[in-house]
């Protein structure tokens, strides 16, 4: 289980790398320019906080994997939170987002589906760790 958490930690940083490509792929420069300055700033601030949270998940998973699988109340709570975070994100992927218009190349399609698989991996691994 410790190895699976370590892999999850690496995958969190992979998600951040992919997230860094989103503004370019979705042309945020022109899309967000239409918003008021405050709305534009809120998008960037919320994005930064999500990056911080995902980076925190990755850092915890890489530095404390053995502690996350101990079954202690804190370990179970942290793993439960991570699992719920990714379960909600995965649900949004299927129910809310319509990415098809943006999947204009094989590489974008592959990346989108790989991220979906990574989100599912996170849900499964951290749910198992939380249930132990």
What are the distances in angstroms from CA 55 to CA 6, 9, 62, 100, 131? 13, 9, 10, 27, 23
Q: What is the average per-residue pLDDT within 55-68?
A: 98
Residue 125 has pLDDT above 90, yes or no: yes
Q: What is the average per-residue pLDDT within 35-64?
A: 97
Which position has the token pair 């699992």? 83
pLDDT of residue 4: 98
Residue 132 has pLDDT above 90, yes or no: no
Question: Given its phi and psi angles, is residue 71 left (phi above 0), alpha (psi -120 to 50 degrees) or beta?
Answer: left
pLDDT of residue 103: 92
Cα–Cα distance measured from residue 52 to residue 131, given in angstroms and rounded to the nearest whole number: 26
pLDDT of residue 119: 98
Of the chain, the end-to-end C-alpha distance in Å amounts to 10
Angle at 119 between CA 115 and CA 124, to 5 degrees: 145
Q: What is the average per-residue pLDDT within 36-63?
A: 97
Using one digit for the tens of pLDDT, what is the confidence trace for 7-46? Answer: 999 999 999 999 999 999 899 999 999 999 999 999 999 9
Alpha-helix residue ranges (DSSP H) falling in the chain = 2-25, 28-33, 37-63, 65-68, 73-95, 106-131
Cα–Cα distance measured from residue 86 to residue 73, given in angstroms and rounded to the nearest whole number: 20
Which position has the token pair 């053995």? 66
């Amino acid at each position: 289980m410790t190895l699976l958490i370590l892999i999850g930690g690496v995958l969190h940083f992979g998600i951040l790398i992919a997230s860094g490509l989103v503004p370019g792929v979705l042309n945020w420069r022109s899309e967000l320019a239409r918003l008021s300055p405050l709305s534009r700033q809120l998008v960037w601030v919320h994005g930064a906080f999500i990056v911080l949270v995902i980076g925190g998940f990755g850092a915890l998973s890489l530095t404390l994997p053995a502690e996350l699988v101990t079954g202690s109340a804190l370990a179970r709570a942290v793993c439960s939170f991570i699992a719920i975070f990714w379960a909600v994100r995965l649900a949004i992927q299927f129910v809310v987002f319509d990415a098809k218009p943006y999947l204009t190349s094989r590489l974008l399609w592959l990346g989108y589906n790989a991220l979906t698989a990574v989100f599912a991996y996170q849900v499964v691994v951290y749910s198992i760790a939380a249930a132990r």
